[in-house]
Structure 1
């Protein structure tokens, strides 16, 4: 997930660069797009997004883990959102793309032929490690999740895992989530919506969250840690065709990613340096931010927990088993 920089004025310039870097580039030319249909293929084109969730890929390249595994990893620019990554796979403009697990679930439920081949992040299992949170203005009369009843919450995507989890947190606290209104906007502008009164709360992920707390907002709570600890965040997805044709390549890719994820978890300072370089964001803007927990696989059982929550709150159609969405090890 979608992974995948303040919401307030002093960060807008840097954030605009990040957003610009995420724009969909379209299909590559015939010359730049090699065929990948057998296990002998070692070139893997991965569609990126300039978010911290992607740090294991950057650091794995830097450390040579993919090269050592026999993978010639080539980075291609990704779409402007998690949902926009999926068309890159189906058009064969990329072999693997980073997207939220929720977006992969929604794509599969809508009949698109995709498979989750690896993980990148899981949401935190406790508040102290959580890089996300629900924020309100300092001095707000909203003191708990139940107080969101009758209020407007700004989020980066409607019918998303964030909307589902916030709704679940409201219900768990004794409120009525059906009386919460959600509005959508780009992540860098969500904090501004609270400051100007367009919304009474917002859901942010670091570094936006930390930047917002320096600019007049405070953390109300950590809904993911409270009601959906450890559910999959950002995953790596391939088309069903590519996954079926290249099991050996996917195995080697996973082996390298496992080393990369471990390295990223052990070196959080390197994560921020990589994000700063790739997203063209000054390193000082990332000081004090919480980096994600990196993983290399997606747990099908936790994915089903996430799917059930998405279904309950109207963000996922169907009731089928999701375990076959993940390519087994």
Structure 2
């Protein structure tokens, strides 16, 4: 072996060593960058506090959380204690105790009519377009002589909330059937008790939503009819509402939330058994009670025309005293 060759070999070894060290440095730098990126993603996670309702309408949120749709958008959903009713959800938003709340579109409209700064940022359910898929209905006693909505004149109808969309739509169904809505009396009771009121004679009819509708018919009550498909097919049911301040301050978060919501709603519509399982687990309802019940019609988007129709019904039948501009209550899609 010559000296020249030895020196060249030494230089080559030195060069190789330097290259190896440099490569290692690049690898380490790459690992460092990846770790930093992971930390940045974690730091960018946004928490949204949602006030839920333990009803089937809320199932897309439960399922979306389980499926990771919100996590994929960098959102951490925290469920906070909700109000006892849709109207009770609104103060949670205005007080800053929740960012988003599940409430009826009607409750949001009523709040807006009273100059409360809330806005609908997404949908959950629409009322049914046809009797065949309707999960709600008006029931009477099995031996009741009432055979149609017109015959509710002079009768008492039990509903879960006075001055509600149910009251307006039942009134509309009576009028569409040739009756006089002002001759119908409405009383209020909790949804689980409405069927018992009819069975005991405390009311002539009651408006029920599954699973309580299925339970009532199994107990011998009969369905008089379906007021929503008749008088207000497809109007918004339960919606997701935020304070206007939150929506305006967090447009990117709302966009990501809507993306995850759309995925969650699609999943819920395609997996009806999972909707029932989620409701059973979250609302502590026995699974057998849900076996014959119908799921809601889930929709992530609130249609402005349908919402306008609902507002007009609320005004026409005295639930609202003044109309509300749909653009003031519905965040643009």
Equivalent of residue 319 in structure 1, options 309, 323, 328:
323
Alignment partners' CA distance in 2, 1:236 and 1:313: 25
Residue 95 of structure 1 deviates from its aligned partner by 0.3
Equivalent of residue 122 in structure 1, options 94, 104, 126:
126
Q: Which residue of 2 aligns with 1:172?
A: 176
Question: Do residues 236 (structure 1) and 240 (structure 2) align?
Answer: yes
Q: What does 1:140-219 correspond to in 2, within 5 Å?
A: 140-219=144-223
SS of the counterpart of 2:97?
A: coil
Give the superposed CA RMSD: 0.8
Q: Which residue of 2 aligns with 1:3?
A: none
Alignment partners' CA distance in 2, 1:184 and 1:320: 25
Question: Do residues 57 (structure 1) and 53 (structure 2) align?
Answer: no
User: How many pairs are equivalent?
Assistant: 290
Which stretch has the larger CA shift, 41-50 or 200-209? 41-50
Q: Which residue of 1 aligns with 2:303?
A: 299
Residue 247 of structure 1 deviates from its aligned partner by 0.6
Residue 41 of structure 1 deviates from its aligned partner by 6.5
Structure 1 segments unaligned to the other structure (5+ residues): 1-39
1:88·1:94 contact (CA, 8 Å) conserved in 2?
Answer: yes
Residue 325 of structure 1 deviates from its aligned partner by 1.0
Q: Which residue of 1 aligns with 2:102?
A: 98
Alignment partners' CA distance in 2, 1:281 and 1:195: 22
Alignment partners' CA distance in 2, 1:98 and 1:159: 19
SS of the counterpart of 2:122?
A: strand
Q: Would you tell me which structure has more helix in proportion to its own residues?
A: 2
Q: Which residue of 2 aligns with 1:274?
A: 278
1:123·1:233 contact (CA, 8 Å) conserved in 2?
Answer: yes
2:45·2:74 contact (CA, 8 Å) conserved in 1?
Answer: no
Alignment partners' CA distance in 1, 2:255 and 2:218: 43
Residue 319 of structure 1 deviates from its aligned partner by 2.5
Q: What does 1:9-24 correspond to in 2, within 5 Å?
A: none
Which has more radius of gyration? 2
TM-score, reference length from structure 2: 0.86
Alignment partners' CA distance in 2, 1:252 and 1:85: 23
1:135·1:201 contact (CA, 8 Å) conserved in 2?
Answer: yes
Alignment partners' CA distance in 1, 2:263 and 2:193: 35
TM-score, reference length from structure 1: 0.87
Residue 322 of structure 1 deviates from its aligned partner by 1.8
Alignment partners' CA distance in 1, 2:65 and 2:45: 18
Alignment partners' CA distance in 2, 1:84 and 1:253: 23
Spell out structure 1 runs of 4+ moving beyond 2 A: none
1:48·1:76 contact (CA, 8 Å) conserved in 2?
Answer: yes
Residue 324 of structure 1 deviates from its aligned partner by 2.6
Structure 2 segments unaligned to the other structure (5+ residues): 1-43
Equivalent of residue 132 in structure 1, options 123, 133, 136:
136
Q: What does 1:220-235 correspond to in 2, within 5 Å?
A: 220-235=224-239
